Amino acid sequence: MTGNYTVQRLVANGSNPDDLIDLVREVQVNAIYNIAQLIDWPAEELDLDETLDMAVSVGFPEKDGKALPIHELHACLMERDPSGRHGEPRSFEQRQFQQLPELLRNELKELILSKNFSPAALLWKKHTGGELKSALAAVQSLYRQL
């Protein structure tokens, strides 16, 4: 398994595993987007002198005897990102949050969603370090992302 060995080498050479996860996700998002765009506009990148009659047909199963088309897959792809980040990588705060133990994440999430930012910032600072002002900014940023 070359992929596994490559990841092990990268981590052994000091690469952050979270950076590798974000890199792989970004490559996946870009690949899916480009495939969807190719389905939407198959002849766009051909740059030929003659126009070709090309069509790719993708649709939902028929309803009332008519096939329901899928319009421009690539245009709505980022809206369908299950993470809610529209194809963007995780923020630094999200990465830190996800590295915390589950019980602590749940406690922080409850405080953040109930807008108890001061106690959340104190708890954040206790477990991630840094200045209290930065901890407050981090939990407020997480509030906007959760």
Closest to 97 measured CA to CA, from 48, 146, 60:
146
- Residue 60 has what pLDDT? 64
- Can you give the length of the chain in residues? 146
The one-letter code for the residue type at 56 is: V
State the pairing for strand pair 59-63/66-69.
antiparallel
Under the banding of pLDDT at 50, 70 and 90, the label for residue 5 is confident
18-65 pLDDT, tens digit per residue, is: 888 888 888 888 888 888 777 777 666 656 555 656 555 555 666 676
Question: What value, to the nearest 5°, has the Cα angle with vertex 26 and ends 90 and 125?
Answer: 15
Cα separation values, 80 from 27, 30, 54, 61, 73, Å: 17, 14, 27, 20, 10
Whole-number Å distance between alpha carbons of 63 and 96:
47
Q: Does residue 71 or residue 127 have the better pLDDT?
A: 127
Q: Nearest 5°: phi and psi at 64?
A: 55, 35
If you write DSSP's letter for every residue of 102-142 in order, what string do you get?
HHHHHHHHHHHHTT-HHHHHHHHHHHH-S-HHHHHHHHHHH
Token pair for residue 130?
A: 């840094």
Q: Using a cut of 0.75, tell me whether the model's pTM lies above it.
A: no
- Residue 89 has what pLDDT? 79
Other C-beta atoms closer than 10 Å to the C-beta of 139 total: 25
